Amino acid sequence: ITQKMGGCSSQSCHHCFFEYETERMIVVKSKVVGSVFRLIQFLILFYVIGYVCVVQKSYQETDSVVSSVTTKVKGTGFTNTSDLGARVWDVADYNIPPQGESSFFVLTNMIVTPNQTQSTCPEVSCIQTGLCMNYSETVKTCEVLSWCPLEIDINLPEHALLVAAEDFTVLIKNSVTYPKFNFHKRNILPDVNSSYLKQCEFNRKTDPDCPIFRLKDMVSEAEEDFQTMAIRGGVLGIMIDWNCDLDWPEHYCGPKYSFRRLDNKIPENNVAPGYNFRFAKYYKTTDGRETRTLIKAYGIRFDVIVFGTAGKFNMVPTIVNVGAALTFLSLVSSVKWSHLQNTHYL
């Protein structure tokens, strides 16, 4: 064994090919240097084991969730107003449209303009005919061609029309897939039967696996008051979290529900608050004339948002992260060696 003091010359490169070099090891008896060295080693091990392995689970291969959602709303309500009279509301009346893309709408309030026909009436906009009309006893305005009488949308009821909507329920059917792991599951558990679905209702403590939710409970969990939100409407997010560790048995992988209001309700920027849209119901009179009832519908739109990542042990990321940990540990010795040289320990 010889101590090599310089590099290989051009004449002896073939000898260097068959040589093996090692670093010179020196034992330094110093409590300060030894304590710093062990502390750095401990911090690196704590980072790799505690954060990289336990928290980040970097030894796993991951995949993003692929999801589909369908909903079914149930419930009936009763109203008695001057515009509509006494009537019973079922799902065909307040669930508009009946099927949405991962969302559903429940009507809770409205402004009704009945018996509109294609004619002329006083207004300050729309298609003007060039004629003036008496809008009131003191105000004259242009005559317009439109659906008359025109809607007056400033007289919104102070209380929600469909008060009973808070007790309506919705069945959420959610199927998820992790294609990389060929993993499939539903939020309706395999042992659930139809008789259970007819009587269960989601409760975070007593029945967390039930896929049927009471509308008021979801709004309350979002820290909102249902009747207040129902006056002008709004948008509520139903968040379904499918983060799963597939190194554990399948029954540990399940949905976690949370609820949050999504539309803007900041007082400083509250122009056009709530959620509303218009639709009309068309009729024909006995003389063949077309009429319609215009409805400005206020209500709550529920958006079902599914997200999640699944992880499963894989040798490749494990080797990569173990190699990175060993590299960090080897750097400690290099840093210590440089420190010793700079502080003249050698």
DSSP state of 173: E
- Residue 118 predicted with pLDDT over 60: yes
Between residues 19 and 136, the one the model is more confident about: 19
Residue with tokens 């599914």: 306
DSSP bridge partners of 58: none
CA angle 209, 189, 169 (to 5 degrees): 50
CA distance 319 to 321: 6
How many other CB atoms sit within 10 Å of the CB of residue 210?
19
Please state the rounded mean pLDDT for residues 321-329.
75
**pLDDT tens sequence across 173-231:** 999 999 999 999 999 988 888 899 989 999 999 999 999 999 999 999 999 999 999 99
- Residue 300 predicted with pLDDT over 50: yes
**Is 260 annotated in some ligand binding site?**
no
Cβ-defined contacts of 195-200 (< 8 Å, 24+):
197/171
Share of the chain above pLDDT 90, in %: 44
CA distance 80 to 88: 9
**Is 80 annotated in some ligand binding site?**
no
**Is 62 annotated in some ligand binding site?**
no
Least confident of 113-122, 168-177, 262-271: 262-271
Torsion over CA: 7, 12, 14, 16 (sign): negative
DSSP bridge partners of 284: 290
**Is 182 annotated in some ligand binding site?**
no
- Residue 286 predicted with pLDDT over 70: yes
CA distance 277 to 297: 5
Please state the rounded mean pLDDT for residues 309-325.
84
CA distance 156 to 111: 6
Torsion over CA: 184, 189, 192, 198 (sign): negative
Please state the rounded mean pLDDT for residues 147-163.
87
In 3D, which of 172, 125, 170 has the Cα closest to residue 145?
125
- Residue 265 predicted with pLDDT over 60: yes
Amino acid at 276: N
**Is 29 annotated in some ligand binding site?**
no
CA distance 321 to 47: 11
**pLDDT tens sequence across 46-99:** 877 777 777 777 788 899 999 999 999 999 998 887 777 788 999 988 888 776
Between residues 2 and 328, the one the model is more confident about: 328
pLDDT attached to residue 346 = 46
pTM above 0.85, yes or no: no
**Is 57 annotated in some ligand binding site?**
no
Residue with tokens 């093996």: 20
Q: Using an 8 Å Cβ cutoff, are 65 and 308 in contact?
A: yes
**Is 277 annotated in some ligand binding site?**
yes
Residues in the chain: 346
- Residue 273 predicted with pLDDT over 90: no
pLDDT attached to residue 325 = 74
In 3D, which of 58, 96, 19 has the Cα closest to residue 311?
58
pLDDT band at 156 (very low <50, low <70, confident <90, very high): confident
Least confident of 166-175, 182-191, 227-236, 310-319: 310-319
* Tokens encoding 255: 């949905």
**Of the spans 12-21, 77-86, 179-188, 308-317, which averages the highest pLDDT?**
179-188
Share of the chain above pLDDT 70, in %: 81
**Is 52 annotated in some ligand binding site?**
no
